[in-house]
Amino acid sequence: MMETIAHKTARALKILKLLENEYPDAGCHLDYEDPFQLLISTLLAAQCTDERVNMVMVPLYKEYKTPGDFLKLTQPELEDKLRSINFYRNKSKSVLACCRSLVDEHNGRVPNTMDELVKLAGVGRKTANVVLGNCFGEPAIMADTHLNRVSQRLGLTDSDKPEKIEMDLKKIIPDSKQVKYSHVIGQHGRSICKAKKPMCDECVVCKLCPSCGKFEK
Ligand code: SF4
């Protein structure tokens, strides 16, 4: 029998409670001091590790604090500073275009709505959700690779498209729990429900997971 939304919500909340106990400190892995820094670091973290982005950006933000500061750099100058980040050329272009939109359309401030954020150059729903959830206290499903994979395995979505996954989860997870869900599920994906070999034997939500044990040979 198909599981109803109400049953999925009840199961998801049980999962959430267990994982909150497991990962009481789960949160954003990018270091940031304000919405601007998180916005830029999230753009840079696509197909790169958060650790690498932190290593490069934390020192850089001490010198370049605002979109206007970044716009003083030419693209080759910024590329030189971001050289150790994957796809640094395209990302430098996106960062400068985003800073230009912030200065021209928002007086250098990061807007706090999805509609405005996704209109910024280079910003999609995933990046917008990271900023909305972490900086502005808005309900937000941060559909990164870990959240997508674990949510599929938990049977909370049957899609592999990030936008559809976000919409499926928004129907199931109450607004007040969406940021927490994103953080603990992301952490669970990094620690236990790994991409190649999920460690179902050690998983505290095994009894609530339809995929438990299905990956063993
Ligand atoms: S039981 Fe296995 S597949 Fe399910 S969440 Fe845990 S580690 Fe992932």
| Global pTM value | 0.93
Q: Give yes or no for a contact between 153 and 209, defined as CB atoms under 8 angstroms apart.
A: yes
The predicted pLDDT at position 2 comes to: 86
Instruction: Please give the structure tokens belonging to residue 213.
Output: 């044990």
> Which residue is catalytic, options 8, 91, 126, 177?
126
pLDDT of residue 215: 82
Closest by CA to 172, choosing from 182, 186, 160, 161, is 182
pLDDT of residue 71: 98
Task: Check if 119 is active-site.
Answer: no
Give the CATH class of 1-210: mainly alpha
**Each residue's pLDDT tens digit, 154-197:** 999 999 999 999 999 999 999 999 999 999 999 999 999 999 99
- Please, which residues have CB within 8 angstroms of residue 84's CB and are 6 or more apart in sequence? 52, 55, 56
Pocket of ligand 1 (CB under 6 A): 150, 153-154, 192-193, 198-200, 203, 205-206, 209, 211-212
pLDDT digits (tens, 9 = 90+) for 88-125: 999 999 999 999 999 999 999 999 999 999 999 989 99
Can you give the pLDDT at residue 77?
Answer: 98
Q: Could you report the per-residue pLDDT of 14-48, keeping only the tens digit for each?
A: 999 999 999 999 999 999 999 999 999 999 999 89
Q: What is the pLDDT of residues 130-151, one digit of tens each?
A: 999 999 999 999 999 999 999 9
Contacts of 89 (CB under 8 A, 6+ apart): 79
Is 161 annotated as catalytic?
no
Could you identify the atom of ligand 1 that is nearest to the CA of residue 153? 3
Query: Is there a contact between 116 and 106 (Cβ–Cβ < 8 Å)?
Result: yes
Q: What is the pLDDT of residue 4?
A: 95
The pLDDT value given to residue 217: 56
Spatial separation of the C-alpha atoms in residues 33 and 101, rounded to whole Å: 21
pLDDT at 171: 97
Domain boundaries along the sequence of the chain: 1-210
**Atom 2 (ligand 1) nearest CA:** 200
Active site residue: 144, 161, 175, 214, which one? 144
